[in-house]
Amino acid sequence: MTQAERQQWDVVVVGAGGAGLRAAIEAREQGARTAVICKSLFGKAHTVMAEGGIAASMGNANPGDNWQVHFRDTMRGGKFLNQWRMAELHAREAPDRVWELETWGALFDRTKDGRISQRNFGGHEYPRLAHVGDRTGLELIRTLQQKIVSLQQEDKERFGDYEARLKVFQECTVTRVLKDDGRVSGAFCYERESGRFFVLEAPSVILATGGIGKSFKVTSNSWEYTGDGHALALLAGAPLVNMEFVQFHPTGMVWPPSVKGILVTESVRGDGGVLRNSDGKRFMFDYIPDVFREKYAETEEEGDRWYEDPDNNRRPPELLPRDEVARAINSEVKAGRGSPHGGVFLDVSTRMPAEVIRRRLPSMYHQFKELADVDITAEPMEVGPTCHYVMGGVAVESDTAAAVGVPGLYAAGEVAGGMHGSNRLGGNSLSDLLVFGRRAGLSAAQYAAGLGAARPAVADAQVAAAAEEALRPFAAHGAAAGGRPENPYTLHQELQQTMNDLVGIIRREEEMKQALRTLGELRVRTRGAGVEGHRQFNPGWHLALDLRNMLLVSECVARAALERTESRGGHTREDYPDMERDWRRVNLLCRLADPDADEGQIALERTNTEPIRPDLLALFDKEELVKYLAEEELYE
Amino acid sequence: MTTYDASFRVWRGDTAGGGLKDFTVEVNDGEVVLDIIHRLQATQAPDLAVRWNCKAGKCGSCSAEINGRPRLMCMTRMSVFSRDEVITVTPLRAFPVVRDLVTDVSFNYEKAREIPSFVPPPGVAPGDYRMRQEDVDRPQEFRKCIECFLCQDTCHVVRDHEENKAAFAGPRFLMRIAELDMHPLDAAEEAGLDRKRTAQDEHGLGYCNITKCCTEVCPEQIKITDNALIPLKERAVDRKYDPLVWLGNKIGRRRP
Ligand SMILES: Cc1cc2nc3c(=O)[nH]c(=O)nc-3n(C[C@H](O)[C@H](O)[C@H](O)COP(=O)(O)OP(=O)(O)OC[C@H]3O[C@@H](n4cnc5c(N)ncnc54)[C@H](O)[C@@H]3O)c2cc1C
Ligand code: SF4
Ligand code: SF4
Ligand code: FES
């Protein structure tokens, strides 16, 4: 049997992005001995890629802003499907979480009077995104990373050991959350460098693993986004919610093929960039949906005036929520009005002087210049939708970030569901990471402390089973000596193509059924995925293990998408194009049914969401609410 | 769309040793070196070890040496090479190899921990921080750093001099000291910490002889030498020879 070293911690945080690091800081400050574990090097998590900014109603750019307005925008963006208590907490606490970053050394761009500058973004009524050029995520992650280092320096002073109370296990992967009698007892992990197995025993495990984009072919996401946390939760018995809602960002690069999907930040539009089709027309004016009609400009002139005078003009429709813009682009391309490489044109070159573009959008300038030979100060970019974010995730209690039904398990950040409803507004993720990362760290530390000495144990048998599962790809290679083992890279490519083509931005019943059949086949073939070589830093092996997670999560997306017979936010059905008020209250929970079944591992459950608290409902006009809420809800 | 076959030589091996291995591999329009490495993984060498994350020049994971020059693989277009050129990809030389193109970069994380952190100004509540853009411009330039460690790899002070590693933080972390030193609200001085001095005395600023090699390889085009190291040196020197400070140091602090 494989030996696995064991270590004891109070809180284990899986993930070192914004959510994980904020959770770890909080848990450690609460006095919990905290371990952070992440697949990449410390400071490289996906959060580093975030560009545009972090949404918080500090009111620095427009004093009219406050948490209520932010809450309203978030609910509208999510088409009222949001777990409203999360949206409320998020809107209330985001400013404090941003200000706190400054006390840890963050340097945001400034307003004239020296406060944090805030920029416009789609769906936000006021300029609300704190930012640093177009590299806000880097600033966020570096600040949190450096805060962790400063806590470690304190511990070094006090205990003579940097890692006495807070340790980062970098380039390690968790493959199982372990349980004892229904409660969390730890995590089973391998070190990527050596392939060595180890167990972190802890009563609290926080999942902060980010998203699932690597199940799609065209995506802005990094290799880490294999849905691990989603799968770990399912396998540990916790349900996922809202999995049908996947955000396709309207503007990804489309050319050359090797960079297809890489993000073009929304700030390009927030700062004045416009979308045009091959006829040179600003087509977004034709795509303003009824629910947003009063809030957006009807003429180009009005839209243009808004940048200077937002109080007396309405915003241009390029700044509609992402789902609307992505669908519009999709339709234009389909109608034959696309750009040469199958996107549309996004132009800043005719809107701002070259020097302003280079200053405000430095990474975009660089990215297009280096990767596509396009000078965005002189010519338009070509852009098209790219899989960007998953709204769905682990179902959690709003206040504590505790996963439903599994004591000791928590989830925060992109891996958690509910906060963004059917569609996330730009900038609301980074703030979400901080608000709920902190809350998760707090609850996890308190729960661990509350247990005293009565901690759940890790049984040897569970460790052995996890080790065997992790070694299967090597066994599969041996077993296939006669036949040929499946190549994990090929399986991954087929999975990505399937999700992209059949469960993508526009969905149809037949295609999703086909996707489920294909996923079933891929699952069977994945059992035969074999890898060569040894366990030291072996990417083929890592991928073979990640496939389990991607297949589970993809099935959740496909099943929930097939079930929801309406269109809302990030879920668009060609066969059910309208938003149905009756569906608003319905959440689809995904649970693990039978992990070994060839035909589907996921069972769906319909639940009704809690009614929105009356004082929060009162923040909206009745005329607006009738567009979203069913008759009975209005009079409750 | 045009396609051709390129000749690649990739270092393969581990702590026990290794060598360059030849591959012939397809290249398509617009691709970068990292695409080619991925194609090798998917078709010829499934266990070829390489670090990467974002494939967009934002995370600083995919550092390697391409034809001997430290670069990000995801930001190196194949079109910068001629079609008949042999492209050699090797791991960062200044750090110990783990496997193939992956090196042990823990040196950098150790150095990061040794730099004293930001000291918040006492009595300023969160939300009350006020700074002018002109004053944050300079430290912001350094905060563009994606920690690719290419500058650390290229700096001759440590590149072939393992023995200097203990005493020298490297350009990235000397720059971090400069950044904190230029932070408009950092209260280190009030707390009795002289950052310039620690740069000189504890982090090896004196080893740097301003060759600017670090600046040349920085993918973020940060002017490491001109904007961080030289000003830090000038000020450290100022401090050192300011007789009053010198006297104060003599009296206040005894170093072994
Ligand atoms: C290009 C781009 C630009 C964006 N711009 C913005 C923006 O401007 N504003 C905004 O609000 N949002 C933005 N987003 C979205 C936002 O960046 C992400 O949603 C957010 O960063 C996710 O953070 P996280 O903390 O949940 O996870 P991540 O930062 O992704 O971190 C996940 C962590 O989990 C670890 N992990 C995963 N699986 C395992 C495992 N099995 N074992 C161990 N560790 C594991 C990873 O290694 C990583 O450390 C952007 C996204 C992209 C792709
Ligand atoms: S300028 Fe200094 S730090 Fe930079 S490479 Fe030269 S010696 Fe090293
Ligand atoms: S300063 Fe430049 S070269 Fe050095 S680590 Fe940072 S980004 Fe890389
Ligand atoms: S993969 Fe992120 S910089 Fe190259």
Domains and CATH numbers, chain A: 5-246+389-451 (3.50.50.60), 251-387 (3.90.700.10)
Predicted confidence at residue B256, as pLDDT, reads 37
Does A601 reach chain B within 8 Å, measured CB to CB?
no
pLDDT at B242 > cutoff 50: no
Predicted confidence at residue A323, as pLDDT, reads 86
Burial category of A614 from C-beta neighbours within 10 Å (exposed 0-12, middle 13-18, buried 19 and up): exposed
Question: In B, residues 170-229, which contact A (CB 8 Å cutoff)?
Answer: 180, 183, 186
List the one residue out of A425, A437, A570 whose CA is nearest residue A53: A425
Burial category of A578 from C-beta neighbours within 10 Å (exposed 0-12, middle 13-18, buried 19 and up): exposed
Task: Give the atom of ligand 2 at the shortest distance from the alpha carbon of B225.
Answer: 1
pLDDT at B252 > cutoff 70: no
Predicted confidence at residue B237, as pLDDT, reads 63
Strands B63-66 and B69-72: antiparallel
User: Residue A450 corresponds to which tokens in the numbers above?
Assistant: 């509350």
Question: In B, residues 105-124, which contact A (CB 8 Å cutoff)?
Answer: 105, 109, 112-113, 116-118, 120
Residue B50 sits at the vertex; the CA angle it makes with A46 and A527, to the nearest 5 degrees, is 85
Cβ(A98) to ligand 1 under 6 A? no
Contact A146 B118 (CB under 8 A): yes
Least confident of A51-55, A376-380, A596-600: A596-600
List, for residues A78-127, the tens digit of each pLDDT value.
Answer: 999 999 999 999 999 999 999 999 999 999 999 999 999 999 888 899 99
Contact (Cβ atoms closer than 8 angstroms) between residue A474 and residue A530: yes
Strands A344-347 and B63-66: unpaired
Ligand 3 mean position to A136 CA, how many Å?
17
Q: Which among B28, B46, B183 has CB closest to A258? A: B28
The Cα A275–Cα A200 span in angstroms is 50
Ligand 2 mean position to B229 CA, how many Å?
8
Using the structure block, give the residue that is written with the tokens 């044109």.
A345
pLDDT tier for residue B250 given thresholds of 50, 70 and 90: very low
Active site (annotated) includes residue A249? yes
Using the structure block, give the residue that is written with the tokens 């789902």.
A323
The Cα A240–Cα A552 span in angstroms is 11
Continuous H helices in A104-135: none
- Rounded-to-5 percentages of helix, strand, coil across chain B: 40, 15, 40
Contact (Cβ atoms closer than 8 angstroms) between residue A98 and residue A109: no
Q: What is the ipTM of this complex?
A: 0.92
List, for residues A173-205, the tens digit of each pLDDT value.
Answer: 999 999 999 999 999 999 999 999 999 999 999
- Report CA torsion sign: B39, B42, B46, B51: positive
> How large a percentage of chain A has pLDDT more than 90?
83
What amino acid occupies position A222? Answer: S
Does B3 reach chain A within 8 Å, measured CB to CB?
no
Predicted confidence at residue A579, as pLDDT, reads 94
Residue A36 sits at the vertex; the CA angle it makes with A166 and A84, to the nearest 5 degrees, is 115
Report helix, strand or coil for A340: coil
Q: Around Cβ A113, how many Cβ atoms within 10 Å?
A: 8
The Cα A87–Cα A293 span in angstroms is 24
B49 contact residues in A (CB cutoff 8 A): 536-539
Ligand 1 mean position to A126 CA, how many Å?
25
pLDDT at B193 > cutoff 80: yes
Inter-CA distances, A589 with A394, A505, B168, Å: 9, 21, 54
Residue A14's DSSP bridge partners are A37, A207
Inter-CA distances, A364 with A134, A268, A316, B37, B143, Å: 8, 8, 21, 25, 17
Is the peptide bond prior to B184 cis by the omega test (within 30 degrees of 0)?
no
Least confident of A85-99, A310-324, A610-624: A310-324
Report helix, strand or coil for B11: strand
Residue A79 sits at the vertex; the CA angle it makes with A78 and A83, to the nearest 5 degrees, is 55
User: Residue A24 corresponds to which tokens in the numbers above?
Assistant: 């770890």
Residue A156 sits at the vertex; the CA angle it makes with A154 and A161, to the nearest 5 degrees, is 140
Cβ(B141) to ligand 3 under 6 A? no
Q: Which among A40, A96, A162 has CB closest to B53? A: A40
Quote the minimal CA–CA distance from B146 to chain A in Å. 8
List the one residue out of A148, A121, A272, A211 whose CA is nearest residue A415: A211
Cβ(B213) to ligand 3 under 6 A? no
Does A540 reach chain B within 8 Å, measured CB to CB?
yes
What values do phi and psi take at A185, rounded to 5? -125, -10
Predicted confidence at residue B253, as pLDDT, reads 38
pLDDT at A561 > cutoff 60: yes
How much is the average pLDDT of B193-217? 95
User: Residue B101 corresponds to which tokens in the numbers above?
Assistant: 């193109």
Active site (annotated) includes residue A97? no
Q: What is the mean pLDDT of chain A?
A: 94
| Crossing angle between the packed helical segments A509-526 and A488-502, to the nearest 10 degrees | 170
Contact A103 B126 (CB under 8 A): yes
What values do phi and psi take at A310, rounded to 5? -70, -15
Element spanning A241, H or E: strand A240-241
Contact B183 A105 (CB under 8 A): yes
What amino acid occupies position A174? Answer: V
Contact (Cβ atoms closer than 8 angstroms) between residue A234 and residue A592: yes
How much is the average pLDDT of A610-619? 95
How much is the average pLDDT of A230-254? 96
Ranges assigned E (strand) in chain B? 3-14, 17-28, 63-66, 69-72, 86-90, 97-99, 102-103
Predicted confidence at residue B236, as pLDDT, reads 60
pLDDT tier for residue A134 given thresholds of 50, 70 and 90: confident
Strands B3-14 and B86-90: parallel
The Cα B37–Cα A179 span in angstroms is 39
- Report CA torsion sign: A296, A298, A304, A308: negative
The Cα B32–Cα B27 span in angstroms is 9
Predicted confidence at residue A482, as pLDDT, reads 58
Contact B131 A162 (CB under 8 A): no
Burial category of B135 from C-beta neighbours within 10 Å (exposed 0-12, middle 13-18, buried 19 and up): middle
Predicted confidence at residue A1, as pLDDT, reads 47
Question: In A, residues 123-142, which contact B (CB 8 Å cutoff)?
Answer: 132-133, 135, 137-139, 142
- Report CA torsion sign: A272, A278, A281, A284: negative
The residue whose C-alpha atom lies closest to atom 2 belonging to ligand 3 is B218
Q: Around Cβ A577, how many Cβ atoms within 10 Å?
A: 10
Contact (Cβ atoms closer than 8 angstroms) between residue B132 and residue B168: no
Quote the minimal CA–CA distance from A20 to chain B in Å. 17
List, for residues A459-513, the tens digit of each pLDDT value.
Answer: 999 999 999 999 999 887 666 555 678 899 999 999 999 999 999 999 999 999 9
List the one residue out of A459, A440, A466, A457 whose CA is nearest residue A11: A440
Q: Which of A269, A315, A424, A507 is catalytic?
A: A269
> How large a percentage of chain A has pLDDT more than 70?
97
Q: Give this prediction's pTM.
A: 0.94
Contact B48 A537 (CB under 8 A): no
Mutation probe of ligand 1 site: the residue of A36, A37, A38 with most atoms within 8 A of C-beta: A38
Ligand 1 mean position to A623 CA, how many Å?
37
- The domains located in chain B, with CATH, are 3-103 (3.10.20.30), 106-252 (1.10.1060.10)
Burial category of A229 from C-beta neighbours within 10 Å (exposed 0-12, middle 13-18, buried 19 and up): buried
Cβ(B95) to ligand 3 under 6 A? no
Output Rg (C-alpha) for chain A, integer angstroms: 24
Inter-CA distances, A280 with A276, A354, B152, Å: 5, 21, 48
Cβ(A14) to ligand 1 under 6 A? yes
How much is the average pLDDT of A397-401? 98
pLDDT tier for residue A590 given thresholds of 50, 70 and 90: very high
Predicted confidence at residue A595, as pLDDT, reads 67
Closest alpha carbon within chain B to A146: B117
